[in-house]
Amino acid sequence: MKARIFFTVLFFTVFCLGVQAKVKDAKAITGSSLSAFGKYSVELSDIPMKLDGKEVKTYELTYENAERSVMIGVLPERNCTNFILKTDMFEIEYVCNKGIFGVKKIQKEYANISKDVNEAVLDKVGYYAQRVITQNPKTEEELLGLIACYFPALVKDDYQAKF
């Protein structure tokens, strides 16, 4: 029994270290996505995303094994921060609701891609597994690191090669 607990704790520790986001030169958040997308980098974008007619703080998420980058719009809320993720073929939201941070389908007012196209790319198993990612409030940088690690699981295997 002690061995099982030891290995469980060891696995959890190694896993946490693997998904830990690192800020280098105070400019980029980097880490490993632990997916086929490989290592990621999140940097502040020069081109702001427009949501509801307003320009919002925007980050660019890139993966070493993906051709497309993901634009992340930041929507600060009273107690947490929401994020709108957009590519030219997929859109999704990561939201904070009552202290729970997780994924949500994009609201109509933020959507630029048809619902049918979005649904074709979305991996339902990955989506439902990410409805609750954390229940502890995190900093913007920590949430961006979590998004970078979890986002690849939202893309169906058939579409990952097109990313």
Instruction: Annotate 62-105 with three-state secondary structure.
Output: EECCCCCCEEEEEEECCCCEEEEEECCCCEEEEEEECCEEEEEC
Nearest Cα residue to 100 out of 75, 130, 135, 131: 135
Confidence band (pLDDT; 50, 70, 90) for 161?
confident
Please give the share of the chain, as a percent, with pLDDT higher than 70: 84
Distances (CA, A) of 18 to 15, 73, 151: 5, 25, 16
The b/e string for 3-35 (b: 16+ C-beta within 10 A; e otherwise) is eeeeeeeeeeeeeeeeeebeeeeeebbbbbbeb
Q: What is the pLDDT of residues 64-82, one digit of tens each?
A: 999 999 999 999 988 889 9
Q: Name every residue whose Cβ is closer than 8 Å to that of residue 29 and which is 6 or more positions away in sequence.
A: 21, 22, 23, 41, 42, 43, 141, 144, 145, 148
Query: How far, in whole angstroms, is CA 25 from its chain's centroid?
Result: 22
Confidence band (pLDDT; 50, 70, 90) for 48?
very high
Mean residue pLDDT of the chain comes to 86
pLDDT given at position 26: 52
Residue 4 pLDDT > 70 = no
Q: What is the mean pLDDT of residues 101-127?
A: 96
| Beta bridge pairs of residue 71 | 60, 86
pLDDT given at position 123: 97
Residue 12 pLDDT > 80 = no
Q: Are 152 and 33 in contact (CB under 8 A)?
A: yes
Query: What pTM was computed for the model?
Result: 0.83
Residue 16 pLDDT > 50 = no
Confidence band (pLDDT; 50, 70, 90) for 9?
very low
